[in-house]
Amino acid sequence: MIFTYQRTVRFPDTDAAGVVYFANSLSICHEAYEESLRQSGINIKTFFTHPSVAFPIVHANVDFLRPMYCGDDLMISLIPQKISVDKFNIAYEITVNEVMVAKAMTRHVCIDVNSRSKQELPDEIIFWLETNRRDAEGAERRKSREEIM
Amino acid sequence: MIFTYQRTVRFPDTDAAGVVYFANSLSICHEAYEESLRQSGINIKTFFTHPSVAFPIVHANVDFLRPMYCGDDLMISLIPQKISVDKFNIAYEITVNEVMVAKAMTRHVCIDVNSRSKQELPDEIIFWLETNRRDAEGAERRKSREEIM
Amino acid sequence: MIFTYQRTVRFPDTDAAGVVYFANSLSICHEAYEESLRQSGINIKTFFTHPSVAFPIVHANVDFLRPMYCGDDLMISLIPQKISVDKFNIAYEITVNEVMVAKAMTRHVCIDVNSRSKQELPDEIIFWLETNRRDAEGAERRKSREEIM
Amino acid sequence: MIFTYQRTVRFPDTDAAGVVYFANSLSICHEAYEESLRQSGINIKTFFTHPSVAFPIVHANVDFLRPMYCGDDLMISLIPQKISVDKFNIAYEITVNEVMVAKAMTRHVCIDVNSRSKQELPDEIIFWLETNRRDAEGAERRKSREEIM
């Protein structure tokens, strides 16, 4: 199963155009990443509050297909992928009632917070990457089989 | 039962002090209000997206007892109270592991959006106020009985 | 002269009601506080980024008199006041074209960040409090004299 | 001259990692866009508050080169480019002390808000695009000449 995170659009997510403010949709994707880490057994407080090792975002992109409104129930799916010894990507898809409304991607680099120099991904992140990757590949294989039959 | 809303603290809620940014705690309370309206049968999209009748906040206050950290599981309880034909208050309490971390209050006035003049609270809000009020009073009575026994 | 901070309302400040989201008005007040500290000679980066001494907000309140729209030019005036050896308040008034649109207050407590125990206000904050207080009192005296004449 | 917008990093822009939260850097770019529209003579309130014609973002991307800290003075430069009769891009560069810290891009589509169907860019946007484009090209020509000499 691909990891998915359910999130209702709230009033503070919106702007005067009456829809989710574009940059807030990236924050909603980040929430999915946080929840995925938590379900992998990572302590979120330690991970995000003044850690010694961090995973800052060095690139992000997002495509908007349809507007999202206050009260919409979003499903955010997430597939992470290891890129190198010190980098990973996360691909996100946001759907409402099974219709895709946005796609996004973030790239993260592992750094030592004090020196801000790159360092190798630690074991807990390798474990999270492999577990989610395997789950995503399993889901894709099942989907292919269903399409063949 | 008093209405309660569960909410995990997310990274974008925090600031460089490593805790929830003070104004964001009011947004978290507002989310509880939105969820409470939804569970009362109100259409959230219609209610908050360019409505003809709105309930803007004319006063808010908040007291912080302890810091909230990324990953904390917040429980937000909410008790609304009708103040007059066109006004209501909402009292919020935020707890983490049953320890209170913040208390807040918002006051809302019912207005016609085009003229921005006050108008009487509509039926769906009266229903929401009465249901939540009765539930809160029931919870308090039960609590008093338990303390006597 | 009372310290004032000019700030244009931006699109991300707004919500689907088409006006500044209520909690964001407190963030705008906080910006005025930051600018006031900077003009007092305080290093903002050191002050707000993982400091050893911090001034968390323990209480905030705000009253909204009129809506604020995207593009509005806000003037935020700020008067701080020492409350005790380890506490101060800040009173804010937000005006648009000299018409008051909101009033707010924040209360700050000085703490040692590691122990989170209270400690005495440091010299640079005492200096900031006294300078702004004196400026505010001067402005009020001038205003009273003008009203008499 | 390329259009530039000055913006100090404020505390609410930051997260528990002590730097600007990644999605907030896109909001800061959007502020530069708003200021550029205003300086072109466009009424910002009308443009962004429940308009009949809007320019929603259909794509955004951002690269982060260095962290931004509370108190940093950002310079955001902006170059818009017409892509077709109903689309334009905006390229942003954020620098601190003349060192680039982030680059971003947003793509906007012109729509009729009620039908959400595409429509041709209106005159005031064409004027804004041409003025900023010409200014950017002039700046590049001057730079090229200086490099030759």
ipTM: 0.93
Give pLDDT, residue C94. 98
Backbone angles phi, psi at D129, to 5 degrees: -60, -45
How distant is the Cα of A133 from the closest Cα of chain D, in angstroms? 24
**Local confidence band at C47 (pLDDT 50, 70, 90 cut-offs):** very high
Q: What is the DSSP letter of A141?
A: H
Read off the pTM. 0.95
**pLDDT in tens for each of the 149 residues of chain D?**
899 999 999 999 999 999 999 999 999 999 999 999 999 999 999 999 988 899 999 999 999 999 999 999 999 999 999 999 999 999 999 999 999 999 999 999 999 998 999 999 999 999 999 999 887 887 777 777 776 66
Q: What's the mean pLDDT in B121-131?
A: 96
How distant is the Cα of D29 from the closest Cα of chain A, in angstroms? 10
Of C54, C62, C67, the CB nearest to B60: C62
A 41-80 near C (Cβ less than 8 A):
50, 69-70
Among C42-56, C127-141, D7-21, where is mean pLDDT lowest? Answer: C127-141
Q: B21 and chain A: CB distance < 8 Å anywhere?
A: no
- Residue B72 designated active-site: no
**Local confidence band at B6 (pLDDT 50, 70, 90 cut-offs):** very high
Q: Do A11 and B34 touch (CB under 8 A)?
A: yes
Distances in Å between the Cα of B131 and the Cα atoms of A42, B3, B40, B81, C6 are: 40, 10, 8, 11, 44
Give pLDDT, residue B141. 79
Strand pairing partners for B93?
B77, B103
Give pLDDT, residue B60. 98
Distances in Å between the Cα of C49 and the Cα atoms of B16, C40, C113 are: 5, 18, 12
* Identity of the amino acid at A38: R
Alpha helices, H only, C1-149:
22-39, 44-48, 123-148
Distances in Å between the Cα of C69 and the Cα atoms of A136, C7, C73, C98, D30 are: 45, 12, 9, 15, 16
Give pLDDT, residue D148. 64
How distant is the Cα of B97 from the closest Cα of chain C, in angstroms? 19
* Range(s) of the domain holding residue C127: 3-148
Number of domains in chain B: 1
- Rounded Cα–Cα distance for residues A20 and A9 (Å): 8
Give pLDDT, residue B139. 77
Q: Do B30 and A11 touch (CB under 8 A)?
A: yes
In chain A, which residues have pLDDT < 70? 147-149
* pLDDT for residue C149 is more than 70: no
Residues of D in contact with C72 (CB under 8 A): 45
Give pLDDT, residue C148. 65
Q: What is the DSSP string of D15-68?
A: -TTSSB-HHHHHHHHHHHHHHHHHHTT--HHHHHSS-SEE--EEEEEEEESS--
Q: Could you tell me the CATH number of the domain that includes residue A22?
A: 3.10.129.10
* pLDDT for residue B7 is more than 80: yes
Note the Cα C148 to chain centre separation in Å. 30
